[in-house]
Structure 1
Amino acid sequence: MATIVKLLGSVGSPFVIRVQIALKLKGIEYKYVEEKLGHLSETLLRYNPIYKMVPVLVHNEKPVSESRVILEYIDETWKQNPILPSDPYKRALDRFWAKFLDEKCMAAAVKSLFITDEKEREKSRKELFEALQFLENKLNDKFFGGEEIGFVDIAALFIPLFQQVAELQLVPGDKFPKLHKWSQEFYNHPVVKEIMPTKEQQFGYFKARAASIAAANNAAASK
């Protein structure tokens, strides 16, 4: 039988890794298609003409883009091993925290780690720690999803990705003991550890991503 599920992605992208983890947890076989940042294929541009970014999940030739949207699509399409709660209120809370992670935590983390201006970097780090404190207070079980990995855990994977793979200290144990322990538990989960990139792949992604952003900025400035 021909493969009906494809994933267009780039190795090292936290957003692509989210989708890979969800597919693995569900036991879904798929074909992975690597996209080169800065030189995206015509196929990807056709499937995601608005954002022109990975990941894109293609199921029966129908594309779905944006990682959080893809996670929900996967969970609704394949019912085994659910990653979102069945209770509507709890599902809404998970969606809220996943959005919070993207807009408040990951954005501040990227700035605090990679911005060159020292004053701005310190400001971003303060914002990051303030945001992470909310997650520290929320985490009461082994995972955000309880005893099993769930939607919020997958959304938060950039923490162990930066912490373990890139060796960047996001959640120091003395400041965020629960998040620090969670990060280790999540990273060492068999499914997660199998999918996480190597250090070389991760730094390769950072380099390619930075080059892609710089090229886009230069193109915009020259207009």
Structure 2
Amino acid sequence: MASNKEDMKLFGMLISPYVIRVEIALKLKGIEYKYIEEKPGNLSEKAIQYNPIYKKVPILVHNEKHISESLVILEYIDETWKQNPILPSDPYKKALARFWSKFIDDKVMYAARKAFFYHDEKELEQGIEETTVALQLLENELKDKFFGGEEIGIVDISAVILAYWLPIIQEAFGVKLFTSDKFPKLYNWSQDFNNHPIVKELLPPRETLKTNYKGLYERHVASK
């Protein structure tokens, strides 16, 4: 098992929920790593060298083998270190976990971006409607305390962007998508997830994120 900080590096950014996904998985597994902070819009030469195709974080470097894209990294971590699994062992349940993890990025957050960065009222309404439908599907899928059952798994980790980031972003942009009255099960899940000891330790300060997204909102309004 590689637990030495010399063996493991994570290139990330404080404001990125995709980086936090990887950190949660590493902490759950008890894997030590060296964290290297990158600047938004100004990645280091080393980071670009490790991820020349997408040129973004997170990037995990394990014994000089570099892996990018958060969901790919999560699977790599789970397959490399068997303790505290985040993916089910059953092939069908594993396939479902992969499906819902990808659904969060491809459907929920894609729709939410349309609602936040809309160009006109029609696009705003469409974004809100699509996000509501996607969140309702997740609400219906949640059967236990966590998507992973009594312990957090890959779907929960993937959904950190919903649990912590989305409420802050919607407050900054003044667009309500995720509320406790509309999605009570998801809301309770988000509270339990955000207060999980490992997750809570890693989440960036709320005010830091709020300031960042308020700046994004102001630039978006100015550009319209």
* TM alignment of 1:1-223, pairs within 5 A: 3-115=6-118, 117-163=120-166, 165-166=168-169, 168=171, 169-203=176-210, 205-206=212-213
CA offsets, 1:31-60, max 9 Å, x none?
000111111110011000000010000000
Partners in 1 of 2:215 and 2:66 — Cα distance?
24
Match of residue 221 from structure 1: none
Whether the aligned pair in 1 keeps the contact of 2:47 and 2:59 (CA below 8 Å) is yes
Give the RMSD, CA atoms, in angstroms.
2.2
CA distance in 2, matches of 1:55, 1:98: 16
- For normalisation by structure 2, the TM-score amounts to 0.87
- Deviations for 1:139-190, whole angstroms, at most 9, x for unmatched residues? 0100000000000001111111225555645421221111111111111111
CA distance in 2, matches of 1:75, 1:92: 14
* Deviation >2 Å, runs of 4+: 113-119, 162-171, 203-211
Q: CA deviation at 1:100?
A: 0.7
**Gap regions ≥5 residues in structure 1:** 214-223
Report the CA distance between 1:206 and its aligned residue. Answer: 4.0
1:43 alignment partner, SS class:
helix
1-side partners of 2:80 and 2:182: how far apart? 39
- Do the aligned partners of 2:5 and 2:32 also contact (CA within 8 Å) in 1? no
Give unmatched runs, 5+ long, in structure 2. Answer: none
Change (3 A) 1:196 1:99: same
Query: Which whole-Å deviations, capped at 9, do the CAs of 1:8-39 have from their partners, x for residues lacking one?
Result: 01111110010011111111110000111111
Q: 1:106 to 1:36 in 2, by over 3 A?
A: same
Deviations 1:173-214 (A, max 9, x none): 221111111111111111111111112332455478889x9x
Structure 2 residue aligned with 1:218? none
State the secondary structure of the residue aligned to 2:100. Answer: helix
Q: Percent identity?
A: 60
SS of equivalent to 1:12: coil
Residue type of the partner of 2:140?
A: N
Structure 2 vs 1, CA of residues 51 and 210 (structure 1 numbering), >3 Å: closer, same or farther?
farther
> Residues 2 and 25 of structure 1: is their aligned pair in 2 closer, same or farther, counting only changes over 3 Å?
closer
